[in-house]
Amino acid sequence: MNKDRLVQGLKQLNLPCDEQIMLRFEQFHEILDEYNRHMDLTAVLDEDERVDRHDLDSAAVLTAVTIPNGASAIDVGTGAGFPGIPILILRPDLHLTLLDAQQKRCLFLKNAVSRMGLHAEIIHARAEDAGRNPQLREQFDFAFSRAVASMGVLQELMLPLVRIGGKAVAWKGPKGLEELDSAKRAAFLLGGTFMEPVSVEIPERPDWTHLLLVTEKVKGTPKAYPRKAGTPSKKPLA
């Protein structure tokens, strides 16, 4: 891991980078490398890009969205743990759930979280099924999701899991704003309303456009949603 780049990046984002935090980031990179040798966990990036694209991009939400101490959050389609793990390393006070449809990724995450001495719930499930499970439905203060689906589809994957008054945060690139218009009706149907998009700057990457699109949950999600697994992406609400 390029430790200096991560320290500089966290400092520029005004985020903490004490010894414990840096140790956990180093451990996480090591465990990722270990698993990546025999499974296809993340695209292999050069060291600088990995810090910027994974760690700092995930962490940048903490500069843009106020997340109260002890809040609950679920990372929907977390894959190898992004954005969830970097957020948890920086905010171990959060009650984090990492959800993914792929079992091998969940096994990796269980191992990684325990080796770093952190606590998170790891759930192997489709978001559509989780959204209908009474133990998870409307239970979270925040839902996060990066690189999983278009904004319209994401509303159906994320909003059923968020309590009224909570927020769903989607990580998007430059095309995020185009997706926003077509997702407004989906958000409305699911009980959400869009807030102003937030643009986040990744240190050393002035040419990257990274947007956080936040939906606030203003009323309960009707029982009809989410539809059965696979339907949100096959027939997006429009």
Q: Find the length of the chain.
A: 238
Shortest distance, CB of residue 84 to ligand SAM, whole angstroms? 8
> Binding of ligand SAM at residue 141 (CB under 6 A)?
no
Choose which of 39, 44, 45, 147 interacts with ligand SAM (CB under 6 A). 147
How far is Cα 27 from Cα 23, in angstroms, rounded to an integer? 6
Q: Name the residue nearer to ligand SAM (CB basis): 39 or 147.
A: 147
Stretch that binds ligand SAM, among 13-21, 59-67, 141-149, 190-198 (CB under 6 A): 141-149
Residue type, 85: I
Which among 148, 103, 129, 98 has a CA at the least distance from the CA of 231?
Answer: 129
Find the binding residues for ligand SAM in span 94-113 (CB under 6 A): 99-102, 105
Choose which of 51, 61, 112, 127 interacts with ligand SAM (CB under 6 A). 127
Choose which of 29, 126, 172, 217 interacts with ligand SAM (CB under 6 A). 126
Question: How many chain residues touch ligand SAM (CB under 6 A)?
Answer: 17
Handedness of CA 177, 183, 187, 188 (dihedral sign): positive
Find the binding residues for ligand SAM in span 153-172 (CB under 6 A): 157
> In the chain, which ranges are continuous DSSP H helix?
3-12, 19-36, 47-49, 57-59, 61-64, 84-90, 103-115, 127-130, 151-158, 176-190, 231-234
Stretch that binds ligand SAM, among 10-18, 61-69, 125-133, 217-225 (CB under 6 A): 125-133
Q: Residue for token digits 């606590």?
A: 119
Find the binding residues for ligand SAM in span 9-68 (CB under 6 A): none
How far is Cα 184 from Cα 164, in angstroms, rounded to an integer? 18
> Binding of ligand SAM at residue 146 (CB under 6 A)?
yes
Shortest distance, CB of residue 19 to ligand SAM, whole angstroms? 26
Shortest distance, CB of residue 95 to ligand SAM, whole angstroms? 19
How far is Cα 224 from Cα 232, in angstroms, rounded to an integer? 12
- Name the residue number minimizing CB distance to ligand SAM: 79
Which among 178, 174, 180 has a CA at the least distance from the CA of 215?
Answer: 180
Chain residues that interact with ligand SAM, rule: CB under 6 A: 77-80, 82, 99-102, 105, 126-128, 146-148, 157
